Amino acid sequence: MLKWVLTGGVVPIFLLAVGVFYLFYLQGYPFRAPRRMLGALQGERTVGGVSPFRAVMQALAGTLGVGNIVGVANAIVIGGAGAVFWMWISALLAMILKYAEILLAVAHRREARDGSFFGGAVYYIRDWFWSRQRVRFGAVVSAVFAGLMILDALCMGCVIQVRAVTSAVQGVSAIPAWGCAVALILLTLPLLLSGTRGISALTEYLVPIMTAGYVLLSAAVLILRHDAVGEAFASIFREAFTPASGAGGVIGFLTSRALRVGTMRGLLSNEAGCGTAPTAHAAADAKSPAAQGVWGIFEVFVDTILLCTATALVILVSRDEVSLYASDGVMMAIRAYSTVLGDWAAYFFAAAILCFGYATLLCWGGYGLESVRFLSPKKRWRGLYLIAFAACVAAGSLYAPDAVWDVADFAIASMTYINLMMLLLLRREVRTGTREAFGKEE
């Protein structure tokens, strides 16, 4: 029971409750003002930060990775096809939560000496407590959150990503695991040292290209297996309300493995509500916090509704053929594509996983580095973090035990509990910012 709670058992309920609350609290905004939402994407910019598009591409780099591939395959193996349904539900509710957390991150961001911006959930957490004269408690809570970010950066953002990349590369080539580790370390550490500008400059081009390629590959599979697409969708809805164990009724529904795993893997993919993406968005030069929040809605849509669904459908239309690889999410996904398109697809898919995994590794490395900077301005701590990150890359290339998934679930679930509580405490600020940007009906 304790493990169930610590690894996200209550997260679906909490996300559902806070997401529904915000939909009503904001009276349907910004969704009920679609024209203003689109206009917000071209809103005014200030001077000094990265462009809003660059910021969202960096945030997407942190979400478009193992969650879209291994996470989806893992969710289907553990929770059945119904887990995909709960990914959709969690994503729809998470859109409004991501909007809120990004709005707060931009509103509470800091300006560096060179005119650039930085920030994240740790700053609005600390600011709220400090504004209530609870300085010590605010320092502790924000420090705990930063520590969880570092832990998740080393586990989910590093070990799991590297394991997925290595597994994919070794599945189609003879490149040794140590070769993958050395290449990833050499490609990652220099960019981490260059800071947010260097990371976002790369992801601005890498993310759109790899997303378009992945969508086209998935579309080709679904077109060729069009006769099985209907049954794939039917299985998603049919299995969504079937608990793997436990009593029926409400208790059975809330303890359904499809519900918990689907929501946790959806959260692992889009990271909405857990307070990680605000670190990337806080660097944007958007003048309006609400306008940058709209980019967060777009981010969740691309990540979960588009890419996770594409992966899930490709696996489900070849479910019988790929079930043999249930213990290896990467190979399960690769075979789902190569079974339909031929062996060449395995090489293309391995390259896609390499790009996705590298982009996520880079982004999460930056998240961890920002968290270290928040905890201490001394350079030696950043140096130690980079050494630890490189060691995790090496470890991940060799092995990623199930315990790493549990640690990643624990970290992201704990951050979500803290962040959602802060979204409730800061709700008035979110509503004020939303009314200023979208308050008038069209």
Mean pLDDT of 355-383: 88
pLDDT of residue 63: 65
Q: What is the pTM of this model?
A: 0.81
Q: Are 365 and 192 in contact (CB under 8 A)?
A: yes
Residue whose tokens read 């800091």: 110
Q: What is the mean pLDDT of residues 32-44?
A: 73
pLDDT tens per residue across span 264-280? 555 555 667 788 888 88
CB 404 within 8 Å of CB 261: no
Name the least confident of 46-50, 197-201, 388-392, 410-414.
46-50
Counting other chains too, the contacts that 423-431 makes at CB distance below 8 Å and 24 or more residues apart are 423/18, 423/22, 423/97, 423/100, 423/101, 423/104, 423/273, 424/18, 424/21, 425/128, 426/104, 426/124, 426/128, 427/22, 427/25, 429/104, 429/107, 430/22, 430/26, 430/100, 430/103, 430/104, 431/25, 431/26
Closest CA to 64 of 191, 208, 205: 208
CA distance 171 to 180: 13
d(CA 278, CA 413): 16
- Supply the DSSP string of 62-104, one letter for each residue: HHSSHIIIIIHHHHHHHH-THHHHHHHHHHHHHHHHHHHHHHH
Distance, CA of 167 to CA of 342 (rounded, Å) = 19
Tell me what pLDDT residue 249 has. 30
Confidence tier at 196 by pLDDT (50, 70, 90): low
pLDDT > 90? residue 102: yes
pLDDT in tens, 297-309: 888 888 778 888 8
What's residue 387's pLDDT? Answer: 93
221 CB-contact burial (10 Å; exposed 0-12 / middle 13-18 / buried 19+):
buried
pLDDT, tens digit, 9 for 90 and up, residues 392-438: 998 888 876 777 877 887 888 889 899 999 999 999 999 999 988 88
Q: Which tokens sit at 409?
A: 């679930």
Q: Which two structure tokens, joined as six digits, stand for 166? A: 């290595």
**CA 200, chain centre distance (Å):** 16
Task: Please state, in angstroms and rounded to a whole number, the distance separating the CA atoms of residues 390 and 395.
Answer: 9
Q: Are 206 and 61 in contact (CB under 8 A)?
A: yes
Q: What is the pLDDT of residue 245?
A: 27
- What pLDDT, on the 0 to 100 scale, is given for residue 21? 93
The pLDDT confidence band at residue 160, using thresholds 50, 70 and 90, is: confident
Strands in 11-165 per DSSP E: 110-111, 117-118
- Report the distance separating Cα 312 and Cα 432, nearest Å: 38
Strand duo 110-111 + 117-118: pairing? antiparallel
Categorize the per-residue pLDDT at 441 as very low, low, confident or very high, splitting at 50, 70 and 90: very low
Which residues in 252-281 are b (16+ Cβ under 10 Å) and which e?
bbbbbbbbbbbbbbbbbbbbbbbbbbbbbb
Q: Please report the pLDDT score of residue 257 as a whole number.
A: 44
Most confidently modeled of 36-50, 171-185, 255-269?
171-185
Is the confidence at residue 195, as pLDDT, over 80?
no
The CA-atom distances, in angstroms, between 243 and each of 16, 246, 250, 406, 437 are 18, 7, 10, 21, 42
Q: Which residues pair with 284 in a beta bridge?
A: 50
Instruction: Give the chain's domains with CATH numbers.
Output: 51-427 (1.20.1740.10)
The pLDDT score that the predictor gives to residue 384 is 93
Query: In the structure, what pLDDT confidence band is assigned to residue 219 with cuts at 50, 70 and 90?
Result: very high
Kindly tell me if the per-residue pLDDT of 45 is higher than 70.
no
In percent, how much of the chain has pLDDT > 90? 20
Residue range 127-154: mean pLDDT, rounded: 93
Q: Which of 45-59, 135-149, 237-251, 326-340 has the highest mean pLDDT?
A: 135-149
CA dist 397 and 177 (Å) reads 5
With 70 as the cut, is the pLDDT of residue 70 above it?
no
Instruction: Please say if the pLDDT value at position 320 is more than 70.
Output: yes
Q: Looking at residue 67, what is its pLDDT?
A: 60
* C-alpha 441: how far from chain center: 32
Query: Band of the pLDDT at 101, cuts 50, 70, 90?
Result: very high
Query: What burial letters (b/e) apply to 16-45, b meaning 16+ CB within 10 Å?
Result: bebbebbbebbeebbeebeebbeebbebee
Averaged pLDDT of the chain? 80
Task: Check whether 296 has a pLDDT greater than 50.
Answer: yes
CB 349 within 8 A of CB 338: yes
Residue type, 275: G
